[in-house]
Chain A
Amino acid sequence: MAINVIAPGLSTTVQDLGRPGYYNIGIPLSGGMDRYATRTANLLVGNPEGAAVLEAVFMGPELEFTEDAVVAVTGAELPPKVDGRPRETWTSFMVHKGQRLSFDYLKKGARAYIAVSGGIDVPVVLGSRSTYTLGALGGLEGRKLAAGDVLKRGMAASAWEGRTIPANLRRMSGSPAELRAIPGLYWHRLTEAAGKNFFADTWKVAPEADRIGYRFKGGRPLEFVPRTPPFGAGSDPSNIVDACYPYGSIQVPSGTEPIVLHRDAVSGGGYFMLGAVISADMDLIGQLQPHTPARFVEVTMEQALQARHDRQAMLHKVRDWLGAKAVS
Chain B
Amino acid sequence: MAMKQILSPLPGTFYRRPSPDKPLFKSDGDRVAVGEVIGLVEVMKSFHEVKADQDGKIVRFLVENEEPVMAGQPLADVDG
Q: What residues of chain A have their CB less than 8 Å away from a CB belonging to chain B?
A: 10-11, 57-59, 104-107, 110, 207-210, 289-291
Contact = CB atoms under 8 A, between A and B. Distances in A.
A55 to B, nearest CB: 13
Q: Is the interface of A mostly helix, strand, loop or mixed?
A: loop
Residue of B9, B10, B13, B68 with most chain A CB atoms under a 10 A cut-off: B10
A208 B68 CA distance: 13
B9 A105 contact: yes
24 contacts: A10-B10, A10-B43, A10-B44, A10-B48, A58-B10, A58-B11, A58-B12, A58-B71, A59-B71, A105-B72, A106-B10, A106-B11, A106-B70, A106-B71, A107-B72, A207-B12, A207-B13, A207-B42, A207-B43, A289-B70, A290-B11, A290-B43, A290-B68, A291-B11
Nearest to B72: A105
B59 interface: no
Contacts of B7: 105
Given A10-B48, A207-B44, A210-B45, A59 B10 contact: yes
Given A106-B10, A210-B45, A290-B11, 15 more contacts: A10-B10, A10-B48, A57-B44, A105-B7, A105-B9, A105-B72, A207-B12, A207-B13, A207-B43, A208-B45, A209-B44, A210-B44, A289-B70, A290-B12, A291-B11
Contacts of B68: 290-291
Contacts of A208: 44-45
The 7 A-B pairs with the shortest beta carbon distances in the complex, nearest first, are A105-B72, A106-B71, A291-B68, A289-B11, A210-B44, A105-B71, A208-B45
Contacts of A104: 72
A263 to B, nearest CB: 14
Contacts of B72: 104-107
A250 to B, nearest CB: 20
Contacts of A107: 71-72
A110 B68 CA distance: 15
Nearest to A211: B44
Interface residues of B, number: 15
A289 B71 CA distance: 10
Nearest to B48: A10
A291 B66 CA distance: 12
Contacts of B13: 207, 290-291
Contacts of B48: 10
Contacts of A59: 9-10, 71
Interface in B36-80: 42-45, 48, 68, 70-72
A104 B70 CA distance: 13
B27 to A, nearest CB: 25
A120 to B, nearest CB: 22
A240 B51 CA distance: 46
A210 B42 CA distance: 12
Contacts of B11: 58, 106, 110, 289-291
B58 to A, nearest CB: 21
Interface in B8-31: 9-13
Contacts of A210: 44-45
B43 to A, nearest CB: 5
Contacts of A105: 7, 9, 71-72
Nearest to B42: A207
Contacts of B10: 10, 58-59, 106
Nearest to B67: A291
Nearest to A106: B71
Contacts of B43: 10, 58, 207, 290
A106 B7 CA distance: 12
A58 B42 CA distance: 12
